[in-house]
Amino acid sequence: MSFTKGPVILTTVFCLLSGALGQDDWGVTYSSTSICGLKGSFVDILCTYSYPSVTQITETFWHINWSPNTPTDLSLDSRYQGRVEYLGNKVNNCTLRIKNLTEGDVEEKYRFRFITDGPKDSWSGDEVSLTLTDLHITVSPESVKEGEKVTLTCNSICSLSNNPTYIWYRNSQPHKHTADNRLAKDSVSAEDAGRYSCSVQGHAIHSSPEMSLSVRCK
């Protein structure tokens, strides 16, 4: 592995990005093209778009496929009716929220499209794919004595989008917020024992099952 290549590659990527997002260019940029959401909850696909400044936007929508020959607005698809909310605008923000996420939602690819009054009259962004996960806690090490260190991890099969804050509960009471998915205790005491669960801020009802932490005496 060569570490010296890192900065060179970064510079190249940066130039490509700033070129693609120039003021007079057409483009759609997503926070990520693979979005990870909690089953049953919602996800926001953060999105911005750009076009030549002389252009007027006439229509904006998200779509999943091209058939029969023109892409149609996702919010008119019976499987998504009432579950998609356009949080963007007709200027530069094309953020989409998909609610009550179901397994079927991961089989589609999502694209933002805008239509203008200009000569080159429409544009669709790249595809965004979706993965769904549940949360579950693992405790490491599995067994601890008073004074030892223990780490609880709130696991998901994909890395949840938009850097959420994690919320921890002990015996069903809110216990702590963490910036990542780990709750570390450097020196456990008997009072730390209990049933733990975790969730993500804004999605509290979709929490993990409870996991017991037991602390043995020294």
Ligand X SMILES: *[C@@H]1O[C@H](CO)[C@@H](O)[C@H](O)[C@H]1NC(C)=O
Residues that bind ligand X (CB under 6 A): 46, 48, 87-88, 93, 95, 99-100
DSSP codes of every residue in 121-184 = -EEE---BEEEEE--EEEEESSSEETT--EEEEEE-SS--TT-PPEEEEETTEEEEEESSSEEE
Q: Of the two residues 47 and 213, which places its CB atom closer to ligand X in the complex?
A: 47
> Min. distance of Cβ 151 from ligand X in angstroms?
30
Alpha helices by DSSP H, listed for 21-83, are none
Nearer to ligand X, 99 or 182 (CB): 99
Nearest C-alpha neighbor of 199 from the set 168, 156, 171: 168
Q: Which is nearer to ligand X, 38 or 137 (CB)?
A: 38
- To ligand X, the closest distance from the beta carbon of 102 in angstroms equals 9
- For ligand X, which is the closer residue by CB, 30 or 168? 30
Asked if 140 contacts 153 with a C-beta cutoff of 8 angstroms, the reply is yes
Toward ligand X, which CB reaches closer, 128 or 144?
A: 128
Put residue 64 in one of left, alpha, beta given phi > 0 → left and psi -120 to 50 → alpha: alpha
Q: How far is the CB of 89 from ligand X (least distance, A)?
A: 8
Q: How far is the CB of 145 from ligand X (least distance, A)?
A: 41
In whole angstroms, the minimum distance from the beta carbon of 130 to ligand X comes to 16
